[in-house]
Structure 1
Amino acid sequence: MKQIVLVGFMGAGKTTIGRQLAQRLQLPLIDTDHLIEARTGKNIPELFSIHGEEHFRVIEAQVLDSLADTEGIISTGGGIILKDSSRLKLKQFQSVVYLSVPIEDLITRIKKDHENPRPLFLNHSEQAFREIYQSRMPLYEDVATVIIENSGKDPQSLTKEIIEKVGV
């Protein structure tokens, strides 16, 4: 069974790289945020505003748990590493790739992305956003089997690098 889970901060390229990997490896792409939206009938910003982050994280952990025996490329939400149970579950997956991106690059990417509003970015000052980023970095590193720097590289190069480092 081939299974690669992509983790990283919002804007790190998990969805874009996930699509490339899925196509290249001929595996399904599974996006945990899309599964959450399908399960709840609400988009992510709605879930945050109506039910709050803790409720969202519980659903996210349930979705992750349901994917344990699923073959494919799994693209996760940026905060999936916040719950202890989700971090423990991530460590049980075959390969977890942390897409690491410098904070300045992330801020630029998120500001340009008008199609995908980011509640965490929109609801915090830039300084608070930077602090959240700093607090999450060690959590991503903790669950990762592979760390890939995703700054200034095209998706094809990153995909090739991931395939080489994961060994699939």
Structure 2
Amino acid sequence: MDKHKNITLIGMPGAGKSTIGVLLAKAVGGAFIDTDLLLQQKHRKLLQQIVDELGFQGFIEEEGNTICGVSPEHAVIATGGSAVYYEPAMKHLREISEIIYLRLPLDEIDSRINNRATRGIALKDGQTLASLFEERTPLYEKYAHRVVECGDKNPEQVLRIILER
């Protein structure tokens, strides 16, 4: 990893962005930034409370503005799964980092997310996890420099794949 270049992890909730992000930051000797945690610190509230308070569109804008304010050097950035909805944030991340999409099949995402009501997932009214997956997948693919298949792999295996390239 170039010492000035960052790596950004994108993907669905439950894909392992935060878990793999911490491991990757340790492996490359960089900082780790979780934009969900930045949002929580800024608002002094849990992610779900922020989503409930601001609504879907308000949350997307707040998340996007938070991401646009991040300009580290030599860091691994884990974004919220909804970051791809805010184009200026994704353009910013593409300029300052290599974006890696952690792709996971819907059934694995579904089995990993057992706290949907409190997890802070930005859903539109009546939206299901399956329709969310369908809507976001083309966006993840659009913004990613690289796609890493994470199905049936543990975090260490995913880390090895990322580091091998």
TM-score normalised to structure 2 length: 0.88
Question: Residue 160 and residue 76 in structure 1: after superposition, are their counterparts in 2 closer, same or farther (change >3 A)?
Answer: same
Letter of the aligned partner of 2:78 in structure 1? S
| 8 Å CA contact retained: 2:99, 2:144 | yes
5 Å-filtered alignment, 1:19-168, equals 19-111=22-114, 114=115, 117-120=118-121, 128-165=128-165
Question: Residue 115 and residue 106 in structure 1: after superposition, are their counterparts in 2 closer, same or farther (change >3 A)?
Answer: closer
SS at match of 2:30: coil
| 8 Å CA contact retained: 1:37, 1:43 | yes
Letter of the aligned partner of 1:131 in structure 2? S
Question: Residue 49 and residue 73 in structure 1: after superposition, are their counterparts in 2 closer, same or farther (change >3 A)?
Answer: same
- Distance in 2, matches of 1:116 and 1:124, equals 13
Deviations 1:25-52 (A, max 9, x none): 1111100000011111111100111121
Question: Residue 122 and residue 77 in structure 1: after superposition, are their counterparts in 2 closer, same or farther (change >3 A)?
Answer: closer
How far the C-alpha of 1:12 sits from its partner, in A, is: 0.4
SS at match of 1:141: helix
| 8 Å CA contact retained: 1:81, 1:87 | yes
TM-score normalised to structure 1 length: 0.87
Deviations 1:12-33 (A, max 9, x none): 0001100110111111110000
- Distance in 1, matches of 2:122 and 2:81, equals 12
Query: Mind listing any 5+ residue stretches in structure 2 that lack a counterpart?
Result: none
- Distance in 2, matches of 1:59 and 1:144, equals 22
Percent identity over paired residues: 28
Q: Which residue, 2, 6, 9 being the options, matches 2:5?
A: 2
Deviations 1:114-147 (A, max 9, x none): 499324489877x822011111101001111110
- Distance in 2, matches of 1:122 and 1:69, equals 29
Question: Residue 116 and residue 162 in structure 1: after superposition, are their counterparts in 2 closer, same or farther (change >3 A)?
Answer: farther
